A and B are shown apart, each in its own frame.
Chain A
Amino acid sequence: MAEEQKNQQDAPIKISPHAYVSQGTEDGIKVYTGKAVPRIDAPLKTTGRATYTTDIHLDRMVYAVPIGATIAKGRLKSLDTKAATSMKGVIGVFGHGSIGPLYRVAPGEGMSSRVDETRPPFEDNVIRYYNQFIAVAVAETYELAMAAARAVKATYEIEKPNVALDLEPEDLKKSESKRGDARAAFEKAAVKIDQTYVTPMEVHNAIELHGTVASWNGDKLTMWETSQAVGTHQNVIAQMMGIPRENVRVITKFLGSGFGGKLWCWNHSPIAAALSRKLKRPVKIHVEREHEFTNVGHRPRTQQRVRISASADGSLQSLEHDYTTQGSMLDDYKENCGEVSGSLYKVENCSVNSSLARRNQGVPTSMRGPGAVPGLYALESAMDELAIALKMDPVELRILNDTQVDLSNGSPYSSRKFVECLRLGAKKFGWSKRNASVGSMRDGDEVLGWGMAACTWQAKRVDASVSVEFHPDGKCKIISGTHDIGTGMYTVCAEIIREETGLPYDRIEVEIGDSALPPGPLAGGSMATGSMIPATIQAVKEAVTRLKTAATKWEKSPVYKEKPDDLTFENGVILSKKTKKKIAYDKLMKEFNLGIVTGAGTAKGTFGPSEKGKPATKSFGCHFIEIGWNPLLARLRVRRVVTVIDGGRIINYQPAKNQIEGAIVMGVGMALFEQAEYDARYGDPVNKNLADYIVATHADCPEMDVTFLDYPDKAVNEYGARGVGEIGLAGVAPAITAAVYHATGVRVRELPVKVEELLETRS
């Protein structure tokens, strides 16, 4: 197995005539200078013709509006629906006992049937979190359904909810990673840091609300859904409805962002399916903005103690990362904050422990860079504090402790260019001009703060199936049940086909986002691009082999009776290497009476811990950030960000850069603004709208300079592409808080940074 892997790595870059060749270098470091292709779906989106889930309108469709509990703990005693159901055009109010059968999803590992809120809606009358759905109003129009929902009066047995901010380890305690004796090493070490870092509950708040249009035709159910994983959604809904999975079709053609919040099925969706089955009419439902805070997942609050130590020269001696994350009352989602702690640096003694603190709050779920993003806030903040304690440059501290082996399992990294990222980032930022003294750098009234932090993210694949079709009109179509969640997958698919066939974009069609298609990768974990590549290459190969074979079988073919192996396929033309004779495949198909030539490809996933003997595959990078603190105005702004990412090969620069820049802006929000504020008396998030839950606006966007290194990682796939959807968010917040410290002397260990914490400082 190991030998095979090695061979794969040593193989030359893709044999296709359009194979990508690395070209740029800077300071001897390979830098991506490849093409930027505009998104092929951009015209649809910019002209409003892209059909999103709740754009779907069906004949006889009715509208459902869920009703949320206005308590966070207790029991639903009664529902008075008289006023609601007496409204003309209201079909009814449904809930526990009246919506029809809704089953649980069989518990198990893996992502194929994953659901984070495992209890089906309305299963009992116990209220476990604020806004838990207690009923749903259905009417002929959305406005009527809304009025009916508001008119329903609920009574409760109220208990005091637990939404306490302090997270004591309570449940699901687990050792995530352990080597050496970190405790003893810490005690002995020359320089040490022991601090606790807190990240607040954050909400995905994609602009497109979650929604479903459900429609039954006999015993077959079609769901237009806001999903990042149509295949998983299909499995989950089939189980919740108690029907074979073949009877469920889930479609997501366009998504107005998900950030992980649309990976798994949430309660609105089975509600729509059950209502549609009961009423025998199509049902449309969407989650109100307020319910986006409670009913469709969030990034949980985390409390992380980091103990890290080094010898006087900066060599790390120990790392202990003990964290507790907010959990819900029924489900076990735990934010995997220590995911990268065991592997990022060279440290012999390491222990990582996790636990859960259950709260009367909604069910948490994956949010862009789950685990690593809050985890790296803690780890990289501690590294910055350690560098200061060592009187060492934080860049040099990280370079000194670089490792080419993932010490959590002993696997060597397939390709780790972390040091190159750091060196190039420092140079581009001008880090050598830094004066490390607190408050020493200024621009007019602003005190400047410079900070940096590392980022890393796994580079894995999930199972993927792809079908590729050649048509006699010269078109080539790629088909797979994967997703474009705004990440550019439509264009990536077209690009892979272009590279494999040489066909121009206008001859390539992409069909994705449908569970009826060959099961494609879900859009999560930054894995979709990397997973699509091997399956697509295989599918193209199979279809092209069929075309070549056909070319040798047709009597009038210029390559009749040649061996298929002696033929090449370039730019849509089948060409004999021997005789140099050729025929275009569309001509061949028309004249040989072929309606369609199809190839299928599948590739197994690699998700999970690295197998023994196989290389560890991860992406790396770093952010260098300048903030400006104006003490006269108590105004804190992020001024500029220099980011360098080692993400293997980049398929399309434009969406890749867009992913990183978007993540940086999200990181500004995480560092300075975002936080769901709970009122402990009622147990509800009080800032449950986009005016009170503050995210970064355009005016908050810093100047951004994003560079991709160019070291294809062929341990991941034939192109060496790792996926860059999440890594850009990791490390932004600790780089900002490091910069805030540099400017003000205030170390913020609980996000977000608020001006009130900085007001005492007057540089």
Chain B
Amino acid sequence: MQQFTYRRASTLDDVFKMPGRFLSGGTNLIDHMKLDVETPKAIIDVGRLPLEKIEKTKTGLMIGAAAKNADVANHEIVKKDYAALSQAILAGASAQLRNKASTAGNLLQRTRCVYFRDTSKPCNKRQPGSGCAAIDGYNRNLAILGVSSKCIANHPSDQNVALMALEARVHLQSAGAKREVALNDFYLLPGDTPEKETVLREGELITGVSIDAPPSGSKSYYLKLRDRASYEFALASTAVVAKVSEGRIERVRLAMGGVGAKPWRLLEVEKMLEGQNASPELFARAADLAVRDAKPQSMNAFKVELAKRCLVAALTHITKA
């Protein structure tokens, strides 16, 4: 760990007075600082700002940036109306981590690629231009969708997959301005600049995440597949929000985790499914479409098949009477 200055912001105005990396729950940033993967000179602790509320709004739900993962997952409204979000958070990390980790921190969770975490290895995401050790290395867990020749890291979060299917919006604030970005537009693909992961501007703070309630009669579900039963990142996961009546899929929103360079929204698949009657054949076609552009790496071709089964199982579950 390198020397750094630490400052705690107690009001929103404090935040923008000095430059620095924002610290919230610390479950990701501090790990990376211990490994010298991140070496910020200045830390601004925003974890105690009054941004921890989870509130019902006219159109749905507003989750404060500092709301703890555990509080979101166990919130009565979330469990009832946004079940996939609760399930996704509870499928991730451990109880201890969820008690510390925040909603906004999770949005910015960084990849678990082993080379990103090891400063003795090349990594374009950590050190632009140094190369990608993963492409010819250990890549079993990494992405098959949205990858580039510079980076094949996957996005590790569960929460964000559910938020993607719930079409969440990210609320941002900087010194002089506020703005909102749809979560689907929040993340960037690696392309030639894998170090740039989101559209966040210098000094811009996430203040919250809003979700419009899905149409009445909708259900949601999160399915996570992994080697062991707990405390492991997804090999593949699916979040689905759907309204189904008498076997007909009226509306569906889908996102996948574990397989993409970012939480992977399946817009084309959604269009293909809407208006159709649920059937194994339909889901098989949906699964094929979902992975049509997959670029499996040397060790993770199995993820293509795994992603398909995950999607089919989630769709089967949500469309069951």
A interface residues with partner B (beta carbon < 8 Å): 70, 143, 146-147, 150, 632-635, 637, 672-673, 677, 679, 681-682, 686-687, 689, 691-692, 694, 696-700, 754-756, 759
Contacts and interface: CB of A to CB of B under 8 A. Distances in A.
B136 interface: yes
Nearest to B230: A699
B108 interface: no
Given A633-B225, A634-B225, A686-B137, A694 B232 contact: yes
Contacts of B100: none
Contacts of B235: 755
Contact of B228 (A146, A634, A672, A687): A672
Contacts of B305: 634, 759
B1 A70 contact: no
B313 A632 contact: yes
Contact of A679 (B137, B229, B231): B137
Contacts of B138: 677, 679, 686-687
Nearest to B114: A686
B282 to A, nearest CB: 16
Contacts of B312: 632
B313 A697 contact: no
A153 to B, nearest CB: 12
A699 B120 CA distance: 34
Given A697-B229, A699-B229, A759-B305, A681 B137 contact: yes
A673 B309 CA distance: 21
Contacts of A689: 117
Contact of B112 (A634, A672, A691, A756): A691
Given A634-B309, A687-B138, A755 B115 contact: no
B180 interface: no
A147 B2 CA distance: 7
8 contacts: A147-B1, A633-B223, A635-B225, A679-B137, A691-B112, A697-B231, A756-B302, A759-B302
A687 B114 contact: yes
A692 B115 CA distance: 12
B118 A686 contact: yes
Interface of B: 1-3, 36, 112, 114-115, 117-118, 120-121, 133, 136-138, 223, 225, 227-233, 235, 301-302, 305-306, 309-310, 312-313, 316
Given A147-B1, A699-B229, A681 B306 contact: no
A673 B227 contact: yes
A680 B1 CA distance: 28
B114 A692 contact: yes
Given A677-B138, A687-B138, A697-B229, A759 B306 contact: yes
List the 7 closest A-B pairs by CB distance, nearest first. A756-B302, A699-B229, A699-B230, A70-B120, A686-B114, A697-B230, A686-B138
Given A147-B2, A756-B302, A633 B227 contact: no
Nearest to B305: A759
B236 to A, nearest CB: 9
Nearest to B141: A692
Contacts of A686: 114-115, 118, 137-138
Contacts of A691: 112, 232-233
Given A632-B309, A679-B137, A755-B302, A150 B229 contact: no
Contacts of B225: 633-635
Contacts of A682: 120-121
B228 A673 contact: yes
A633 B136 CA distance: 28
A100 to B, nearest CB: 29
Nearest to A701: B229
Contacts of A759: 302, 305-306
Contacts of A697: 228-231
Contacts of A692: 112, 114
Contacts of B229: 637, 697, 699-700
Contact of B309 (A633, A679, A696): A633
A633 B114 contact: no
A670 to B, nearest CB: 13
A741 B302 CA distance: 20
A689 B309 CA distance: 29
Nearest to B233: A691
A681 B136 CA distance: 9
Contacts of A70: 120
Given A686-B115, A692-B112, A698 B137 contact: no
A633 B230 contact: no
Interface centre among B114, B137, B312, B316 (most CB of A within 10 A): B114
Contacts of A632: 309, 312-313, 316
Contacts of A150: 1, 36
B228 A694 contact: yes
B2 A696 contact: no
B227 A672 contact: yes
Given A147-B1, A679-B137, A694 B302 contact: no
Given A682-B120, A689-B117, A698-B230, 14 more contacts: A632-B316, A634-B225, A637-B229, A673-B227, A673-B228, A677-B138, A687-B138, A691-B112, A691-B232, A692-B112, A696-B228, A700-B229, A755-B235, A759-B306
A692 B113 CA distance: 10
B112 A694 contact: no
Contacts of B227: 672-673, 694, 754-755
Contacts of A677: 138
A689 B3 CA distance: 24
Nearest to A71: B120
A672 B227 CA distance: 8
Given A673-B227, A699-B229, A755 B114 contact: no
A686 B116 CA distance: 11
B162 to A, nearest CB: 18
A473 B85 CA distance: 64
A635 B137 CA distance: 26
Contacts of B114: 686-687, 692
A552 B256 CA distance: 85
A657 to B, nearest CB: 23
A150 B312 CA distance: 48
A755 B306 contact: yes
Contacts of A756: 301-302
A633 B313 contact: yes
B228 A699 contact: yes
A70 B122 CA distance: 13
B288 to A, nearest CB: 16
A55 B140 CA distance: 38
Contacts of B233: 691
B220 to A, nearest CB: 18
A700 B226 CA distance: 12
A143 B1 CA distance: 8
Contacts of B133: 679, 681
Contacts of B1: 143, 146-147, 150
Nearest to A758: B302
B67 to A, nearest CB: 24
Contacts of A673: 227-228
A57 B260 CA distance: 48
Interface centre among A634, A673, A754 (most CB of B within 10 A): A634
A633 B302 contact: no
A677 B137 CA distance: 10
A700 B230 contact: yes
Nearest to A698: B230
Contacts of A633: 223, 225, 309-310, 313
A291 B143 CA distance: 28
B52 to A, nearest CB: 27
Interface centre among A698, A699, A700, A756 (most CB of B within 10 A): A756
B306 A700 contact: no
Contacts of B313: 632-633
A673 to B, nearest CB: 6
Contacts of A696: 228
Contacts of B310: 633
Interface centre among B36, B112, B233, B313 (most CB of A within 10 A): B313
B293 to A, nearest CB: 20
